Amino acid sequence: MAKNKKPERAWYSISVATVRRVATMVVFVAILGAGYLGFQRLEQYLVERDALQTIEEATELTGQLRRREDYRQIYTNNRMAWDLLEQAREEYEAGEFDHARRNAGRSLALLKSILDIGTGGKGTHRFLSLQGGVEIRKRRRSGAWRRASSKDTLNPGDWVKTSPDGTAEILFPDGSVYTLRQDTMVQLGGSQSGDGVSDTKRTTDIVFGLVELDTAESASTVATPKSQAQIRRDSEAMVSYDDSKGKGSFAAWAGGVEVQSKASGQKQEVGALQLVEQVGDLLSAPKPLPGEPRLLRPPNEQEIDLDAQQELQLAWEAVNRAQRYALQVSQSQLFASTIIDDVRPKTTARLGIRGEGSFFWQVAAVDRDGARGPWSAPGTFRVVSLRSIGEADDKIPPELDIRSIDTYGAQVIVSGKTEPGATVRINDELVSPLGRDGSFTKTVQMTQEGWGFIEVKAIDAWDNETTKRAQVFIDAYY
C-alpha cells in the first residue's frame, strides 16, 4: 500500500512594492476611519457645548429675575420659562443634547422677552425663528409691508405674512408659540394673562393660511373670518382658513379647543386628536384623527456616506385609522421649503441621495377622508463625503464673505456666506443650519456695553480655517 504523499507546498513571491502598496492602503483606511470617528465626535461635542452654553445663559437670566422685587409675580405668570429650562437640564443629563439645546433656547428667548416686559415692553412678541419670505406691517404706522427680521419686536395689532416659501415661529409673552406656515397672514392679538395688556386686541385673526399653536400657562383666542376658537392652556392645536372656499379647520393634537360660529353662534368642543370643520356658518361634529407616527429609521442624527450609499430607506410605525402617510424632507428645520412633500400608502420610503448636507424629515398619518393628524417629531440625518474628508492634500482655506453686521441694542445680526459643507462659528457659537449654498444668518447676544468684537470662523472638512473680525458698538445692554 502506497503511503500518502505530503501535499506540495506552493510558494509565491511578493514584490516589496506590492507590500508597500498594501501597507499604504491599510494605513489610509485606518486614517479614514479615525477621521470619520473624529468628525462624528466633534459634531456631537459642538452640539453638547451649545446646549450647555444656552442652559448657562438662561440660568444667568433667571438669577437676574430672582433679584427683582416682583420676582414672585413674574415666576407665577411665566412658569413655562422655568419649566423649559428644567426640562433642558434633564435632557442634557440624559445625553439628549439636541433636544436640550432646543428647549434651553426656547426658555432663553422667553426669559429675554420677560426682561423686555420689565423695561416697558409690555405685550410684545418676538420671532423665535424665520425661514424664507416673511413680512410684517406695524399697526400704528403707514401700513407698508416690509421684510421681517429676527430683531423685530411685535405688538398686538401688528400684521405678519408668510410667502409660499416662508415660515415663522412667534413667541408670545406668556410662553405660547404660534407657527405660521406657508401662505399665511395674521393680525396678532395679546396673550390672555400676565402681560399687562388691557386696551389692545387680544384675539389673533387669521385672514388666510394655517397656524399651529403650542399654548403655555394661559389660553389663546384665534379667529377666522367666520369662527372663533379658544385654545386651552397646555394645548397643541391647528387652525386654518381657506379664503377661496370660505372653509375653516380646527384640530387639537393635545389639550382642547372650543370653536364658535360667528354668524349662528353654534359651538363645538374639539378634544385631543379631533377635528372640526366649518363650511358656511355651520360647524361639523368632531371627527377622530389618526395619532402621531413614530420614526424608526434611520436613527436620529445618523451620518450617511455619500460615496458608499446612493439610497436611504426611511421607515415609521403604522398608525390606527391611517390610510396614507404624508412625508416631508427638508433642509429647513421649520420645513419652510421641502425637497420631498408627498403622500404614500406604505410606512417606508426610499430616497435617492444626491448631495451633502443636513436634512430633516417628518411624517403625519392621513385618514380615509384626507384629514391629517399631527406631524411626528422631526428626524435628522446628515450626508457627508468620507472620500473628501479623507483627502489630506487640500490646504486652501474656505472662502468667507461677511455680507452684513447689524447692531440692535445688545443683539448683533451677522449674515454671510462660506463654501458649502463648512462649519461656521460666530464668537464661538455654532451657526446651524447653513443654507445649501453656504449662506448663514446668526443673532449674537453681546454681554458688554461699548466697543466689542464679532469674530467669524469658517472651518472646512480638512480643518482649514478662515477668520474675520469686526468691531461693533453696543449702546444698550439689558
**Domain containing residue 439: CATH number:** 2.60.40.10
Q: Give the per-residue pLDDT at 16.
A: 53
4 inside domain: no
Number of domains in the chain: 4
Residue 389 pLDDT exceeds 60: no
Q: What is the mean pLDDT of residues 81-103?
A: 85
| Same-domain pairing of 268 and 205 | yes
Most confident region among 133-137, 201-205, 419-423, 442-446 by mean pLDDT: 133-137
Determine how many CB atoms are found less than 10 A away from the CB of residue 47: 17
- Dump strand ranges (E) for 245-294: 247-254, 257-261, 267-270, 274-279, 282-283, 287-288
| Same-domain pairing of 136 and 263 | yes
| Same-domain pairing of 282 and 185 | yes
Residue 123 pLDDT exceeds 70: no
Give CA torsion, residues 78, 82, 83, 84, to 10 deg: 100
Which of 413, 414, 412 minimizes the C-alpha distance to 446? 412
Pair 406, 151: CB distance under 8 Å: yes
Cα–Cα distance for residue pair 316/376, rounded to 1 Å: 10
The pTM score is 0.64
Q: What is the mean pLDDT of residues 303-318?
A: 88
395 inside domain: no
Residue 463 pLDDT exceeds 90: no
Could you tell me the residue range of the domain that residue 21 belongs to? 16-116
212 inside domain: yes
| Same-domain pairing of 231 and 127 | yes
| Same-domain pairing of 377 and 406 | no
Cα–Cα distance for residue pair 451/134, rounded to 1 Å: 32
Residue 247 pLDDT exceeds 80: yes
Q: Provide the b/e sequence for 335-346 (b: ≥16 CB within 10 Å).
A: bbbbbeeeeeee
Q: Give the per-residue pLDDT at 300.
A: 84
| Same-domain pairing of 68 and 185 | no
Q: Give the per-residue pLDDT at 12.
A: 43
Q: Give the per-residue pLDDT at 34.
A: 54
Spell out the residues 6+ positions from residue 399 whose beta carbon is closer than 8 angstroms to its own. 417, 418, 419, 458, 466
Q: Per residue in 2-55, pLDDT tens?
A: 444 444 444 444 455 555 665 666 655 555 555 545 545 656 777 788 888 889
Q: By mean pLDDT, which of 147-161, 195-209, 370-384, 417-431 is the weakest?
A: 195-209
Q: Per residue in 420-452, pLDDT tens?
A: 778 899 988 888 777 767 888 888 878 777 778
Last residue of a domain, one of 288, 305, 321: 288
Q: What is the mean pLDDT of residues 167-176?
A: 85
| Same-domain pairing of 109 and 129 | no
Distances (CA, A) of 307 to 228, 350, 386: 54, 17, 7
Pair 373, 326: CB distance under 8 Å: no
Last residue of a domain, one of 288, 305, 322: 288
Cα–Cα distance for residue pair 283/294, rounded to 1 Å: 31
Q: Please report, as a single letter, which amino acid is at residue 283.
A: L
Q: Give the per-residue pLDDT at 346.
A: 95
Directed axis angle between helix 79-93 and helix 16-66, to 10°?
A: 150
What's the grid cell of residue 37?
470617528
| Same-domain pairing of 158 and 275 | yes
| Same-domain pairing of 128 and 63 | no
Q: Give the per-residue pLDDT at 477.
A: 43
pLDDT grade for 388, boundaries at 50, 70 and 90: low
Q: Give the per-residue pLDDT at 367.
A: 95
Q: What is the mean pLDDT of residues 94-115?
A: 79
| Same-domain pairing of 107 and 195 | no
Pair 250, 239: CB distance under 8 Å: yes
356 inside domain: yes
8 inside domain: no
Spell out the residues 6+ positions from residue 155 whose beta carbon is closer than 8 angstroms to its own. 123, 124, 125, 138, 139, 188, 200
108 inside domain: yes
Q: What is the mean pLDDT of residues 345-372?
A: 91
Q: Give the per-residue pLDDT at 297.
A: 93
Q: Give the per-residue pLDDT at 49.
A: 82
40 inside domain: yes
Q: Give the per-residue pLDDT at 248.
A: 96
Which of 375, 377, 381 minimizes the C-alpha distance to 299? 381
Indicate the helix (H) or strand (E) that contains 180.
Answer: strand 177-180
Residue 210 pLDDT exceeds 50: yes
